[in-house]
């Protein structure tokens, strides 16, 4: 069975030191669920298993036992070329995502050419009660809609997401910090007008100041906008 074959493959590529490092980076995953397979190897395995006719058996075997299985699952979804198939896989998998790494590294290639089809799903996912479904929507807005298809309304949309969840608020800060790098004239108003809560506001400024894409002059101005 492909499920057992994948587990065997993952353990054959185990790196104990990396497992311990990864476990510290992803505190929300279940204890002892990390195997310790490095990301480039997982991506390589995903390309191999994506081509298998029986890959659906693995994708339907939820919840997975190991963090690395979730990572592999995310990378297989990212390889999926058909948009509708990809969305179906995402809708099934997102409720099982339990950490920022699996959430953020899941970036389907088919999204780039299907922005209009993608937007309704992102709007729906933003309304989810699940932390990582909301985070995935925010991170996808960041990666897909801050360049050619940018719309100022998206800034308002993300600013209106209210949560006590650390990983959601961190995603909002990351989104606005990236917006300050790519769409400064539109994004700066949200900082000047204190639209975000204090923690997210200050975290946005911190991340923007750390960015090489923000000019020194703008960094100096952003520092003056920090709230106490």
Give 165-215 pLDDT, tens digit per residue: 999 999 999 999 999 999 999 999 999 999 999 999 999 999 999 999 999
CB 27 within 8 A of CB 11: no
The yes-or-no verdict on residue 121 having pLDDT over 90 is: yes
Residue 128 lies in a domain: no
C-alpha triplet 207, 78, 21: angle, nearest 5°: 55
**35/79 same-domain check:** yes
The band of 148, judged by pLDDT with boundaries at 50, 70 and 90, is confident
Alpha-carbon span 167 to 36, nearest angstrom = 23
Instruction: Classify burial at 184, counting beta carbons within 10 Å of its beta carbon; exposed 0-12, middle 13-18, buried 19 or more.
Output: middle
Same domain membership, residue 74 and residue 13: yes
Say whether both 13 and 89 belong to one domain.
Answer: yes
pLDDT at 55 (0 to 100)? 98
Read off the pLDDT of residues 19-77 as tens digits, 9 standing for 90 and up.
999 999 999 999 999 999 999 999 999 999 999 999 999 999 999 999 999 999 999 99
Domain boundary among 89, 111, 133: 111
**Domain stops at, among 59, 92, 111:** 111
Distance between CA atoms of residues 57 and 168, nearest Å: 31
Output the pLDDT for position 18: 96
Domain housing 68: 1-111
The token pair that represents 71 in the structure block: 């990572």
Indicate if 104 and 10 belong to the same structural domain.
yes
Number of domains in the chain: 2
Q: Do 166 and 212 share a domain, yes or no?
A: yes
Read off the pLDDT of each residue in 94-105 and give the average, rounded to a whole number: 98
Q: Are residues 5 and 80 in the same domain?
A: yes
Same domain, 100 and 145: no
Whether 120 shows a pLDDT value over 90: the answer reads yes
Residue 9 neighbours by CB under 8 Å, 6+ apart: 45
CA distance 211 to 86: 32
| Statement to judge: residues 97 and 14 lie in one domain | yes
Shared-domain flag, residues 173 and 76: no
Structure token digits, residue 168: 């959601």
Give the confidence band of 96 by pLDDT, cuts at 50, 70, 90: very high
What's the whole-model pTM score? 0.96
Residue 46 buriedness (CB in 10 A; 0-12 / 13-18 / 19+): buried
Q: Is residue 134 domain-resident?
A: no
Could you tell me the pLDDT band of residue 162, with boundaries at 50, 70 and 90? very high
Q: How far apart are CA 174 and CA 136, in angstroms?
A: 12
User: Within the chain, what is the greatest distance between any pair of CA atoms?
Assistant: 59
> Could you tell me which of 224, 167, 157 has the C-alpha nearest to residue 195?
157
């Amino acid at each position: 069975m492909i499920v057992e074959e994948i587990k065997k493959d993952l353990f054959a590529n185990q790196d104990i030191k990396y497992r311990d490092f990864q476990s510290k980076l992803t505190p929300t995953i279940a204890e002892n669920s990390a195997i310790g397979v490095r990301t480039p190897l997982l991506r390589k395995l995903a390309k191999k298993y994506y081509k298998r006719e029986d890959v659906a058996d693995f994708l339907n075997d939820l919840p997975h036992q190991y963090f690395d299985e979730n990572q592999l699952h995310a990378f297989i979804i990212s390889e999926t070329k058909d948009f509708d198939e990809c969305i179906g896989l995402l809708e099934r998998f997102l409720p099982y995502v339990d950490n920022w790494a699996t959430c953020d590294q899941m970036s389907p290639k088919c999204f780039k050419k299907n922005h209009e089809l993608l937007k309704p799903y992102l709007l729906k996912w933003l309304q989810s009660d699940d932390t990582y479904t909301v985070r995935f929507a925010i991170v996808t807005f960041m990666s897909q809609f801050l360049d050619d298809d940018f719309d100022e309304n998206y800034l308002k949309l993300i600013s209106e997401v209210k949560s006590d969840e650390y990983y959601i608020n961190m995603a909002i800060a990351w989104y606005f910090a990236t917006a300050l790098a790519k769409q400064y004239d539109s994004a700066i108003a949200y900082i000047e007008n204190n639209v975000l809560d204090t923690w997210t506001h200050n975290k946005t400024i911190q991340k923007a100041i750390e960015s090489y894409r923000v000019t020194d002059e703008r960094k100096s101005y952003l520092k003056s906008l920090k709230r106490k």
